Amino acid sequence: MVNEDGTLLDNVKRAGLNTLEPPEETHRILERWVDANLSLAYADKFHGKRKTIIVRREKLVELFFPMTGFMIIVGVHPAFPLDKTGQLENLINKLQIGGDEWRGT
């Protein structure tokens, strides 16, 4: 979970897994993602709210779930079936991560 300035608010990962980037680069990468997310927000008033941003890479797939005031980032295996993305979004909504005041509901 990352806030609007790229600060990592919370992090959960599977035991035994490490990030692919060097730890000192993580904040810089998160800041760039937040910038990209905010630049996409302009079209929301025309196209509707962004629900999921999917970035497919060679080594992983990144799923971004923009919320009010923060963004949830989920990294999955490249073979993750993208048709399951909606189910993951529904799970996140049911969990009410961050509470209603964060979600803007």
Provide mean pLDDT across the span 7-12.
82
Query: Domain 2-103 in CATH: superfamily?
Result: Dynein light chain 2a, cytoplasmic (3.30.450.30)
Sign of the C-alpha dihedral, residues 48, 49, 51, 54? positive
What's the Cα-to-Cα distance from 102 to each of 8, 58, 68, 84, rounded to whole Å?
Answer: 15, 32, 5, 24
pLDDT per residue over 81-96, tens digit each? 999 999 998 888 888 7
All structural domains of the chain with their residue ranges: 2-103
Helix (H, G, I), strand (E, B), or coil: what is residue 52? Answer: coil
Taking 3-state DSSP, the helix, strand and coil percentages for the chain, each rounded to the nearest 5, stand at: 40, 20, 40
- Kindly state the greatest CA–CA separation across the chain: 43
Terminal-to-terminal C-alpha distance of the chain: 18
- The structure's pTM equals 0.79
